[in-house]
């Protein structure tokens, strides 16, 4: 007992390092993050700063901008939610069951990652257009997907799927099956086991997957632009309005919109991170 | 390892620098032409012809690189540092931006070459489905209820601005036409637009591949190309009573050619567009030639239309842009409440 405590103490004092020193790696981290993330972002802030507060407020509160923000964030949230539900299902099936062509299905999940977004957009539009394979079937039911806000959700769901599946998979693989068996021997039903035993472990990665899919959806341009229809006040996403402003050489106006998207996304990400920490802590205490 | 990855990262930069340096060496010259989307095939042909001409005249071997994209996007790339020796864009507004935003060329650029620096022209025509089932003959038919019109968003597409102005010009020429009636007409037209693509090629795809809409507003060269590619069994061209003279302008980029020492070849490149050979190539790619002799030869391809110019009807591109396409302009008013 005493010996192990001493050993622990020693290992605490002199942790064995796999990689070279903390100072060097942190230094690289900061430089890298600054170069890749912070410098471009501050350039965006600086450019929009030139227009003054009133110009900024006027530029980002027009009805069209507000409508586009509602669509961009609303559709991304909805798409991420759909992915959270069905992505969990896919991850579960891929981890827990053996079936033919499993590797093939597994690779299929990554396809939205690898596909150029424009290709995805064109393919989805071809499917859901009134003369497409799916569009032809659902159009008579009064359901229009291509060239409506619904199309935006479809495109964002497509590109967001891998984020949820890939964050859940490793966690599901690590899950201790014996704990589930123990729950069963103690008389828990399947549902109780899922809600009480499995779900608490899955919450944090599910939130991460949701956040990633959501962020990807908000920022998506290439695939959405083909299927959205881009009607003002109805199916315009905010990135399109940014392009519109650039097309008029209105750099400050474009960056003003970018800053609004940035701040909103960052706030939401912080919120989701906090939620995740809370879920983690709650689970840890149990 | 780290060193090697640095070297790998630097290699492309180095190669670019070397490539730029190589142009200074006698005998081998490169040119970069920043153009818009539908001119790809035209300039592929033209570059071959000009390189051959330049070789016989100066003995220099010329390599011409092309860059294509939306007209506005290309202008922004040049402003942000794309070293294009010449720009060949869709509308003068985008070349004006090189003056205003980047001070890359003098503001007299449009007077440096004949015909407003537009060696070839085009116009806006209608592409309808085979047999013209909706009986679309002229602009007036586009505002009928039940007619689906496909045109890109004029705020993101340079080509779509020509469409918009052509419709406006038609409404102005009607008996009692004025700015109010023209805006009314254009508003009704856009009520018939189910999809606003961000670019002209996107609209063509929406109309042809997706089967959306009854009529596509298109550049004549695009419409002729589409009709030739897909055959007359799918689409046909309808020529309206009046349309707009689309003048895609060209210019050398002074700052770039002076830095790279390519002024002579860049100027030669643009002037050759006006030669009978250059005009012939333009006509073969369905752009209306300026040269009267070449125009006469291709008269059967290009029907006679009453064509108005942006300068005459709209007071030039700067004013047209401010009135119609700037934030809060007539186009925004159509969709505003």
Backbone angles phi, psi at B216, to 5 degrees: -110, 125
Is CATH 1.10.3720.10 what the domain over A52-285 is classified as, yes or no?
A: yes
Q: Are A241 and A65 in contact (CB under 8 A)?
A: yes
Residue in B176, B127, B163, B184 with CA at minimum distance from that of residue B325: B163
Regions of chain A with pLDDT less than 70: 1-20, 283-286
Residue in A258, A264, A280, A256 with CA at minimum distance from that of residue A215: A264
Contacts of B70 in chain A (CB under 8 A): 247
Answer yes or no: do B72 and A246 touch at CB < 8 A.
yes
Token digits of residue B335: 């969709």
Query: pTM for the full model?
Result: 0.77
Contacts of B198 in chain A (CB under 8 A): 225, 230, 240, 243
Residue in A140, A199, A209, A217 with CA at minimum distance from that of residue A169: A209
In the three-class reduction of DSSP (H, G, I as helix; E, B as strand; rest coil), residue A250 is classed as coil
Residue B17 has what pLDDT? Answer: 44
Residue B6 has what pLDDT? Answer: 44
Token digits of residue A123: 């393919």
Q: What average pLDDT does the segment B112-119 reach?
A: 95
Token digits of residue B127: 């592409």
Residue A17 burial (C-beta neighbours within 10 Å; 0-12, 13-18, 19+)? exposed
Q: What average pLDDT does the segment B163-186 reach?
A: 94
Please write the tens of the pLDDT for every residue from B244-272. 999 999 999 999 999 999 999 999 999 99
Token look-up 């008579």 returns: A140
Q: What average pLDDT does the segment B120-148 reach?
A: 94
Answer yes or no: do B210 and A131 touch at CB < 8 A.
yes
Q: Chain B interface, mutation test: which of A249, A251, A254, A255, most B Cβ atoms within 10 Å?
A: A249
Residue A2 has what pLDDT? Answer: 46
Residue A20 has what pLDDT? Answer: 67
Please write the tens of the pLDDT for every residue from A232-241. 888 899 999 9
CA B49 vs CA A95, B31, B88, B281, B295: distances in Å: 61, 14, 17, 9, 20
What residues does B121 pair with on adjacent strands?
B288
Contacts of B335 in chain A (CB under 8 A): 64, 231-233
CA of B209 to nearest chain A CA: how many angstroms apart? Answer: 8
Residue A21 has what pLDDT? Answer: 77
Give the up-direction half-sphere exposure of residue B242: CA atoms within 13 A in the CB hemisphere. 15
Please write the tens of the pLDDT for every residue from A209-247. 999 999 999 989 989 988 988 888 888 999 999 988 888
Answer yes or no: do B196 and A132 touch at CB < 8 A.
no
- For the cut 80, the answer to whether the pLDDT of residue B87 exceeds it is yes
Q: For residue B167, how far is the Cα from the chain centroid?
A: 18
Query: How many residue pairs from chains A and B have C-beta atoms closer than 8 A?
Result: 69
Answer yes or no: do B210 and A132 touch at CB < 8 A.
yes
CA of B203 to nearest chain A CA: how many angstroms apart? Answer: 10
Phi-psi region of A123 (alpha: psi -120 to 50; beta: other; left: phi over 0): alpha
* Cα A121 to Cα A128: distance, rounded to the nearest angstrom: 10
Answer yes or no: do B209 and A231 touch at CB < 8 A.
no
Answer yes or no: do A126 and B101 touch at CB < 8 A.
no
Contacts of B195 in chain A (CB under 8 A): 147, 229-231
Q: What average pLDDT does the segment B128-134 reach?
A: 93
The ipTM value here is 0.70
Q: Chain B interface, mutation test: which of A126, A240, A247, A255, most B Cβ atoms within 10 Å?
A: A247
Residue in B165, B177, B101 with CA at minimum distance from that of residue B323: B165
Q: What average pLDDT does the segment B272-288 reach?
A: 96
In the three-class reduction of DSSP (H, G, I as helix; E, B as strand; rest coil), residue B69 is classed as strand
Average pLDDT, chain B: 88
Contacts of B213 in chain A (CB under 8 A): none
Backbone angles phi, psi at B62, to 5 degrees: -110, 130
CA A52 vs CA A45, A57, A135, A250, B101: distances in Å: 12, 9, 47, 14, 20
| Of the partner residues B198, B211, B212, the one whose CB lies closest to the CB of residue A230 | B198
Residue A13 has what pLDDT? Answer: 54
Q: Are B282 and B289 in contact (CB under 8 A)?
A: yes
* pLDDT tier for residue B120 given thresholds of 50, 70 and 90: very high
Q: What average pLDDT does the segment B122-133 reach?
A: 94
What residues does B69 pair with on adjacent strands?
B36
Token digits of residue B297: 């030869």
- For the cut 80, the answer to whether the pLDDT of residue B232 exceeds it is no
* Cα B199 to Cα B203: distance, rounded to the nearest angstrom: 7
Answer yes or no: do A233 and B326 touch at CB < 8 A.
no
Please write the tens of the pLDDT for every residue from A21-35. 788 888 888 888 888
CA A245 vs CA A209, A250, A251, A254, B327: distances in Å: 32, 5, 7, 5, 9
- The percent of residues in chain B predicted with pLDDT above 90, rounded, is 69
Domain ranges of chain A: 18-49, 52-285
Contact residues of B toward A, CB < 8 A? 70, 72-73, 76, 97, 100-101, 153, 155-156, 194-198, 202, 205, 209-212, 321, 325-327, 332, 335-337
Answer yes or no: do B321 and A248 touch at CB < 8 A.
yes
Token digits of residue A241: 């309005």
Please write the tens of the pLDDT for every residue from B28-67. 889 999 999 889 889 999 999 999 999 999 999 999 999 9
């Amino acid at each position: 007992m005493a010996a192990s405590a001493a050993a622990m103490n020693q290992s605490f004092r002199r942790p064995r390092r796999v990689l070279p020193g903390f100072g060097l790696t942190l230094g690289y981290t900061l430089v890298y993050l600054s170069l890749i993330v912070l410098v471009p972002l501050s350039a965006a802030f600086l450019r929009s700063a030139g227009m003054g507060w009133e110009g900024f407020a006027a530029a980002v509160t027009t009805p069209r901008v507000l409508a586009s923000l509602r669509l961009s964030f609303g559709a991304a949230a909805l798409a991420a939610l759909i992915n959270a539900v069905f992505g969990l299902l896919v991850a579960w099936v891929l981890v827990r069951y053996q079936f033919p062509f499993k590797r093939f299905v597994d690779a299929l999940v990554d396809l939205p990652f690898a596909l150029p977004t424009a290709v995805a957009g064109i393919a989805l539009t071809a499917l859901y257009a009134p003369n497409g394979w799916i569009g032809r079937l659902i159009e008579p039911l009064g359901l229009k997907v291509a060239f409506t806000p619904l199309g935006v959700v479809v495109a964002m769901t497509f590109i967001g799927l891998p984020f949820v599946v890939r964050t859940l998979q490793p966690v599901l693989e690590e899950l201790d099956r014996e704990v589930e068996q123990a729950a069963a021997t103690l008389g828990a039903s399947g549902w109780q086991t899922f809600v009480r035993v499995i779900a608490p472990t899955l919450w944090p990665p599910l939130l991460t997957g949701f956040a990633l899919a959501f962020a990807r959806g908000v920022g998506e341009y290439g695939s959405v632009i083909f299927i959205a229809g881009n009607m003002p006040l109805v199916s315009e996403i905010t990135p399109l309005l940014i392009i519109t402003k650039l097309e008029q050489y209105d750099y400050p106006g474009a960056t003003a919109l970018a800053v609004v998207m940035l701040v909103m996304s960052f706030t939401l990400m912080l919120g989701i991170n906090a939620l995740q920490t809370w879920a983690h802590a709650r689970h840890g205490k149990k | 390892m780290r060193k090697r990855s640095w070297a790998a990262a630097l290699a492309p930069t180095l190669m670019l620098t070397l490539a730029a340096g190589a142009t200074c060496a006698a005998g081998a010259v490169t040119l970069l032409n920043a153009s818009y989307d539908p001119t790809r095939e035209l300039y592929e042909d033209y570059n071959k012809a000009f390189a051959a001409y330049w070789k016989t005249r100066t003995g220099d071997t010329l390599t011409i690189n092309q860059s294509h994209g939306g007209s506005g996007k290309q202008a922004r790339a040049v402003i942000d540092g794309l070293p294009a020796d010449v720009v060949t864009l869709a509308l003068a507004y985008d070349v004006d931006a090189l003056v205003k935003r980047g001070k890359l060329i003098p503001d007299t650029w449009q007077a440096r070459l004949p015909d407003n620096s537009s060696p070839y022209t085009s116009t806006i025509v209608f592409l309808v489905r085979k047999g013209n089932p909706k009986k679309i003959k002229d602009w007036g038919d586009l505002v009928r209820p039940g007619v689906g019109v496909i045109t890109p968003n004029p705020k993101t597409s340079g080509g779509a601005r020509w469409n918009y102005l052509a419709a406006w010009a038609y409404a102005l020429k009607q008996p009692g036409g004025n700015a109010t009636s023209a805006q009314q007409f254009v508003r009704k037209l856009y009520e018939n637009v189910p999809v606003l693509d961000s670019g002209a090629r996107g609209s063509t795809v929406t109309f042809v591949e997706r089967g959306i809409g009854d009529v596509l507003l298109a550049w004549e060269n695009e419409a002729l190309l589409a009709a030739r590619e897909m055959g007359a069994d799918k689409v046909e061209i309808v020529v309206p009573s009046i349309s707009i003279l689309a003048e895609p302008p060209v210019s050398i980029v002074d700052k770039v050619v002076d830095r790279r020492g390519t002024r002579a070849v860049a100027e030669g490149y643009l002037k050759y567009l006006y030669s009978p050979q250059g005009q012939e190539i333009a006509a073969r790619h369905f752009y209306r030639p300026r040269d009267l002799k070449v125009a006469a030869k291709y008269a059967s391809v290009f029907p006679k239309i009453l064509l108005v110019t942006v300068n005459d009807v709209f007071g030039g591109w700067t004013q047209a842009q401010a009135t119609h396409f700037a934030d809060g302009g007539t186009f925004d008013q159509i969709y505003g409440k």
